[in-house]
Structure 1
């Protein structure tokens, strides 16, 4: 059953996403991860012949998977195009569920804004610049290099090498 799930998952992954990762999960199923779309699809055994439990969910910020939002039992003998259509509908449901609800503006329903003032604009978040080596690490490296240099000087400096 695992080989059939794996082959089906490989075909589905190629149809759904250009960038994907296919791997085996603990329960004996297969997971397709689309990091660029922040979604995942899982094909798991159901106990029935040529059937699989198809689940879909989203990926969280740290790369972990959120619990499945939707699931459906599919027939593996159906063509790849039919399975891809089912996957796309599940992914659409996951995307719709993941969108945040509109925030209330904090005003009473009957009140209007004053005419002279514009609505405050939301400031976009700037991406955080990440240093590969922090200043503290550089300082430690310089101290280690200084101690090593002093030791080498004390070792070879006496003899004039």
Structure 2
């Protein structure tokens, strides 16, 4: 994500008076750090949750323990719950982006073939067509190649792109 695109995103969020929250597992704050690297981001970034372990996903974002046990932390349902949790628990947030995945070796948690598997959830509190108040959430699955930092960096880029895509849909 280049700096000009970030500046445009922050300006568009300001123009629409939309506020963003993050919920980050594998990126552990990189999305928030990237968004706030742009001057003026404090007007639109509300904050974020660093939820690297399952206990934090449950405690901070209300991701059900049963869901984590049934599907594992790296799953579509958990990314969905993380995005909704961040949206609901962050005062003033209109949009929340959440990421969970395996940046590198899974350490026995999953087959190493899952290295680079990432789920990105994006939730908003408005109907993207009408603008009316209504919670919406979508999740996408990705498989990013490369080493740990490559996967984390591409996750950041794609998560921010999801915010841009959402704004492109909103009238």
What is the TM-score with the length of structure 2 in the denominator?
A: 0.39
Decide which structure has the larger Cα Rg and report it: 1
Structure scoring higher RCO (CA < 8 A, sep ≥ 6) equals: 2
Where is the helix percentage greater, Structure 1 or Structure 2? 2
